[in-house]
Amino acid sequence: MKNQKNLTTTAKPLVYICSPFRPVSTDPILRANELIDNLKLAKDACTFAALRGCEPIAPHLFYPQFLNDEDEVERALGMELGMKALRNCDELWIMSCRISSGMSAEIKEAQKCGIKVLVFTAAGFREYRGSGDMTDNCYADMVDTAVIE
């Protein structure tokens, strides 16, 4: 008999990775570099979540593979599909101090659905207490005692 792997799975928290996708720069070279940096941040956040025993969900790494983010109809479809995935998550992790328009919509949806929203900082995670607006500074109310282990 061949060595059989244990096929039972343990439930891992589903974590929605919330980080910017679209670059803000208008310069083509800076824009390309910013996109690379944004993708790296999302990938690193997924690795971090997986290594912490979570199952990361990052629609902005998946849907732009076949949907054009520059086409408003395709972007809207990608956002809609991402929101559907978000509603099944246990937590949303904000991984950037800058809140993009897409992130703002995701944060507000998570809050509306009662999904825990956390901000990742150099000190660790803390509960997000903001409104999710693009003008919000995720670190403005930083208090050391608010860090979650």
CA–chain centroid gap for 14, Å, is 11
Diameter of the chain measured on Cα atoms: 61
* Identity of the amino acid at 63: Y
- Residue 19 · residue 103 · CB < 8 Å: yes
Q: Could you give the angle at the alpha carbon of 47 between the alpha carbons of 132 and 18, nearest 5°?
A: 10
Please provide the CATH number assigned to the domain covering 14-148.
3.40.50
Confidence of residue 139 (pLDDT cuts 50, 70, 90): low
Residue 125: enclosing H or E segment and its boundaries? strand 124-127
> What sign has the CA pseudo-torsion 78, 79, 83, 86?
positive
Q: What is the pLDDT of residues 3-24, one digit of tens each?
A: 444 444 578 999 999 999 999 9
Q: Which residues contact 136 (CB under 8 A, 6 or more apart)?
A: 99, 130
Q: What is the pLDDT of residues 70-120, one digit of tens each?
A: 999 999 999 999 999 999 999 999 999 889 999 999 999 999 999 999 999
The predicted model scores a pTM of 0.86
Q: Which two tokens stand for residue 125?
A: 């995670």
Q: 3-state DSSP call for residue 6?
A: coil
